[in-house]
């Protein structure tokens, strides 16, 4: 290795002591500090400042019907934040009962009535007791229909003398209707008593009041924004051989049940339900529901409508993912103007002292709420470290905190097995590792195939035109890394770079673009030397599935330069990173997974102390590893080099400098010097 290359290797090697570790995540707290949380431990929220402001502004509105989008990923606290803030705001709302007078009495025009808290329920119970007394009187063996109706009138005296005309009208209309049917009731009791006993309760049901009292359902969660769930429906039933509608039932939806409360509905499928979306928009604009809007309403009214308008008083939140929101916006361009309030939930947040404390409050509250062991400070630090790993950034935390609950459950179980009173960092680390391996069958099969030589990957020695690249495979449960052998050979041609994956259409658009960028870089390196008579074929070996992305372009560049210069590459070093046409190495995704997979492969074969991974310097903030890998880096038996240009990477891999042009020649013992010599030889 040349002195210059050794210097580059030393300069690019990262200091393992500067890598993120759990202790750094929680330095804001003293070892025994458990106070100073900036929010209530009963309802802690982590970050999401924009969403908090938007929800607070929506709840501060004086409108009876308040609506807000909750746009974010699942398990990011959308339901918890909205329901808790809405519950606090609703505590100041005056109590109020909503009563629906029976639909079976067509003479009533004012059916939906708001009463001060408690009065509506009390009157409804009065009406109910009168009906139950009537039913009892009619079922008596010595039933006297006229006497039973007289008893009903006595029971309903308060209703008959009530201050509201609608209540008095109900009392009169129901009494008139029952009096008209008195003869029929007597006949049924005398001739079909057995059958009529079964029908009587349903028959009297049509005279009962519908009650929607504040506090009955102050917080309602709808699994989906379904028409019946949100608005309700009407059922009309008849009983043969009766020749009339026996009773009509109004089943209230969430918008009516949550009188003065909160409705949270899942709106991810609204783009596939345009009629429902238009109904929601129309209701939001009007502020009330018409009974004909309910499921079965049109059939019930049958064109001869005595319309009942039911005002809505609720805080309505619709949770939706960013993708589903964009799909709905494409369906309805007026979407941004339909509702004035939109709370956006961030995927991640800065790892500030404030957010550290909020995270601690959330973790402590979770443990207390679920009756688990307490959380030690080092356990909170380890959990926060996991949260940064999920975010893929050492200075940020992932805000899908709901995904941490399985880890906490497992950690609490491990603590209970130790009969410990506190969850410790070792419990969190073990639970985190278990959670990451919950769907690792494919990863383990690929590791086994590599160990058995079915997938050919070298981790020691030197080879010309061959380098270990690193790729990431995505699964629903998460991604994992996989070493990928990349080779390059030189042949007689004037076509420049020949990429096998691109030619057989095995690569996606991003991969094809990266190949063309690589071609530009290679031609830029060698094109000024001579008229280039050679071509370079590049291939991702043993790749049987379609590939996409540009993270292999730096590895392909190293393989191509090695093949052209006929200089071997150290097989104990894997590389990842994309490049531009000037050879600058750019950031890529999945760095932690890529480093981890090559470390596991080298560790399984025996670490030599010379192995490691070359990554883009722009990805340094993503190096969040478990304890074993951190300790191997600190002991110097595995290494990570961070580079900014292909020149640095090729010098680390080959031990030769890239070479600087002196006049019209490059130094002989350099990569470019050997390429120039190869060009001279090919020209001769």
* Per-residue H/E/C for 15-81: CHHHCCCHHHHCCCCCCCCCCCCCCCCCCCCCCCHHHHHHHHHHHCCCCCEEEEEEECCCCCCHHHH
Reported confidence tier of residue 617, pLDDT bands at 50, 70, 90: very high
**pLDDT at residue 204, as a whole number:** 74
568/654 same-domain check: yes
Q: What would the pLDDT profile of 485-499 be if each residue is shown by its tens digit? A: 999 888 766 666 666
**pLDDT at residue 674, as a whole number:** 84
Gap between the Cα atoms of 503 and 517, Å rounded: 15
Among 312, 345, 378, identify where a domain stops. Answer: 345
Reported confidence tier of residue 368, pLDDT bands at 50, 70, 90: confident
338/371 same-domain check: no
Question: Cis ω on the peptide bond leading into residue 527 (within 30° of 0)?
Answer: no
Q: Which of 167-171, 250-254, 296-300, 382-386 has the lowest mean pLDDT?
A: 296-300
Q: What would the pLDDT profile of 40-90 be if each residue is shown by its tens digit? A: 455 568 889 999 999 999 988 878 888 999 999 998 989 888 888 887 776
* CATH number of the domain encompassing residue 676: 3.30.230.10
Reported confidence tier of residue 38, pLDDT bands at 50, 70, 90: very low
106/58 same-domain check: no
Indicate whether 245 pLDDT > 50. Answer: no
Gap between the Cα atoms of 626 and 111, Å rounded: 65
Reported confidence tier of residue 468, pLDDT bands at 50, 70, 90: very high
Count how many domains the chain has.
4
294/145 same-domain check: no
206/220 same-domain check: no
Mean pLDDT of 230-248: 52
**pLDDT at residue 315, as a whole number:** 87
579/464 same-domain check: yes
Query: Does residue 18 form part of some domain?
Result: no
Mean pLDDT of 543-562: 81
Mean pLDDT of 168-174: 85
Indicate whether 30 pLDDT > 60. Answer: no
Residues 6+ apart with CB under 8 A from 337: none
Query: Does residue 5 form part of some domain?
Result: no
Indicate whether 133 pLDDT > 50. Answer: yes
Reported confidence tier of residue 206, pLDDT bands at 50, 70, 90: confident
Determine what percent of the chain falls in helix, strand and coil, rounding each to the nearest 5: 45, 20, 35
Indicate whether 9 pLDDT > 90. Answer: no
543/576 same-domain check: yes
Domain containing 419 equals 31-40+348-436
450/584 same-domain check: yes
Query: Does residue 25 form part of some domain?
Result: no
276/312 same-domain check: yes
Q: What would the pLDDT profile of 378-405 be if each residue is shown by its tens digit? A: 888 889 989 988 888 888 999 999 889 9
* CATH number of the domain encompassing residue 56: 3.40.50.300
Q: Which of 184-188, 366-370, 383-387 has the highest mean predicted lDDT (pLDDT)?
A: 383-387
481/590 same-domain check: yes
Query: Does residue 8 form part of some domain?
Result: no
Question: How would you write 308-331 as a 3-class SS string?
Answer: CEEECCEEEEEEECHHHHHHHHHH
Q: How far apart are the first and last CA of the chain?
A: 30
Indicate whether 452 pLDDT > 50. Answer: yes
Query: Does residue 23 form part of some domain?
Result: no
Among 326, 345, 364, identify where a domain stops. Answer: 345
DSSP class of 346: P
Count how many residues are written for the chain.
Answer: 684
Query: Does residue 208 form part of some domain?
Result: yes
Q: What would the pLDDT profile of 413-425 be if each residue is shown by its tens digit? A: 999 998 888 888 8
Mean pLDDT of 117-140: 80
b/e sequence 296-317, b meaning 16+ C-beta within 10 Å: bbeebbeeeeeebebebbbbbb
Q: Which of 25-39, 206-220, 405-419 has the highest mean predicted lDDT (pLDDT)?
A: 405-419
| Token duo for residue 430 | 């073990």
220/202 same-domain check: no
Gap between the Cα atoms of 615 and 595, Å rounded: 9
Reported confidence tier of residue 240, pLDDT bands at 50, 70, 90: very low
Gap between the Cα atoms of 632 and 627, Å rounded: 9
Mean pLDDT of 539-555: 78
**pLDDT at residue 247, as a whole number:** 43
* CATH number of the domain encompassing residue 402: 1.10.8.60
**Taking all residues of the chain, what is their mean pLDDT, rounded to a whole number?**
80
Query: Does residue 2 form part of some domain?
Result: no
Indicate whether 35 pLDDT > 50. Answer: no
431/323 same-domain check: no
Place of tokens 């629903």: 476
* pTM (two decimals): 0.76
Q: Are 311 and 288 in contact (CB under 8 A)?
A: yes
| Token duo for residue 278 | 């238009």
Place of tokens 């130790």: 418
Indicate whether 525 pLDDT > 50. Answer: yes
Query: Does residue 189 form part of some domain?
Result: yes
Among 155, 188, 212, identify where a domain stops. Answer: 212
């Amino acid at each position: 290795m040349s002195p210059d290359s050794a210097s580059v290797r030393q300069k690019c090697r990262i200091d393992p002591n500067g890598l993120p570790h759990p202790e750094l995540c929680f330095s804001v707290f003293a070892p025994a500090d458990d106070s100073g949380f900036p929010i209530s431990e009963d309802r802690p929220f982590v970050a999401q400042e924009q969403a908090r402001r938007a929800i607070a502004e929506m709840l501060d509105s004086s409108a009876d019907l308040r609506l807000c989008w909750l746009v974010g990923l699942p398990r990011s606290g959308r339901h918890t934040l909205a329901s808790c803030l809405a519950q606090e705001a609703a505590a100041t709302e005056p109590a109020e009962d909503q009563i629906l007078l029976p639909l079976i009495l067509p003479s009533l025009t004012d059916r939906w009535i708001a009463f001060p808290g408690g009065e509506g329920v009390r009157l409804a119970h009065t009406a109910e007791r009168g009906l139950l007394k009537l039913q009892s009187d009619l079922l008596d063996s010595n039933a006297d229909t006229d006497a039973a109706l007289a008893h009903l009138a006595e029971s309903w005296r308060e209703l008959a003398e009530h201050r509201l005309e609608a209540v008095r009208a109900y009392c009169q209309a129901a009494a008139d209707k029952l009096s008209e049917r008195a003869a029929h009731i007597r006949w049924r009791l005398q001739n079909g008593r057995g059958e009529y006993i079964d029908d009587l309760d349903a028959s009297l049901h049509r005279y009962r009041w519908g009650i929607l009292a504040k506090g009955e359902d102050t917080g309602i969660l709808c699994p989906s924004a379904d028409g019946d769930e949100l608005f309700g429906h009407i059922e009309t039933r008849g009983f043969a051989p009766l020749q009339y509608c026996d009773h009509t039932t109004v089943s209230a939806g969430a918008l009516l049940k949550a009188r003065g409360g909160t409705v949270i509905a899942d709106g991810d499928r609204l783009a596939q339900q345009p009629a429902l979306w238009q109904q929601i928009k129309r209701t939001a604009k009007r502020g009330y529901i018409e009974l004909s809007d309910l499921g079965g309403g049109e059939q019930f009214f049958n064109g001869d409508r005595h319309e009942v308008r039911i005002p809505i008083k609720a805080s309505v939140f619709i949770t939706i993912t960013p993708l589903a929101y964009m799909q709905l916006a494409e369906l309805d361009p007026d979407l941004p103007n339909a509702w004035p309030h939109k709370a956006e939930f961030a995927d991640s947040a800065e790892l500030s002292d404030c957010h550290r404390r909020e995270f601690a409050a959330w973790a402590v509250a979770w443990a207390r709420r679920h009756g688990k062991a307490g959380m030690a400070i080092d356990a909170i630090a380890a959990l926060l470290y996991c949260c940064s790993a999920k975010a893929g950034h050492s200075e940020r935390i992932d805000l899908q905190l709901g995904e941490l609950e399985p880890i906490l459950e497992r950690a609490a179980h491990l603590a209970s097995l130790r009969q410990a009173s506190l969850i410790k960092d070792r419990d969190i680390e073990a639970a985190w590792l278990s959670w990451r391996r919950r769907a690792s069958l494919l990863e383990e099969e690929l590791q086994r195939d590599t160990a058995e030589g079915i997938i050919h990957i070298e981790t020691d020695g030197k080879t010309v035109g061959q380098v270990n690249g690193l790729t990431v495979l995505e699964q629903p449960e998460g991604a994992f890394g996989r070493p990928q052998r990349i080779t390059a050979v030189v042949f007689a041609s004037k076509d420049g770079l020949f990429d096998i994956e691109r030619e057989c259409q095995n690569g996606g658009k991003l991969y094809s673009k990266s190949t063309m960028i690589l071609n530009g870089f290679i031609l830029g390196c060698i094109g000024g030397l001579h008229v280039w008579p050679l071509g370079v074929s590049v291939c991702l070996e043993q790749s049987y599935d379609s590939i996409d992305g540009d993270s292999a372009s730096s590895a392909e560049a190293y393989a191509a330069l090695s093949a052209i210069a006929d200089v071997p590459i150290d097989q104990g070093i894997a590389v990842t990173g994309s490049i531009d046409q000037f050879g600058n190495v750019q950031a890529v995704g999945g760095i932690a997974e890529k480093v981890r997979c090559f470390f596991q492969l080298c560790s399984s074969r025996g670490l030599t102390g010379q192995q490691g991974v070359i990554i883009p310097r722009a990805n340094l903030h993503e190096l969040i590893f478990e304890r074993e890998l951190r300790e191997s880096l600190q002991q110097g038996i595995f290494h990570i080099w961070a580079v900014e240009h292909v020149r640095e990477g090729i010098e680390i891999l080959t031990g030769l400098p890239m070479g600087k042009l002196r006049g019209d020649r490059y130094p002989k013992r350099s990569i470019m010097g050997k390429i120039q010599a190869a060009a001279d030889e090919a020209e001769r």
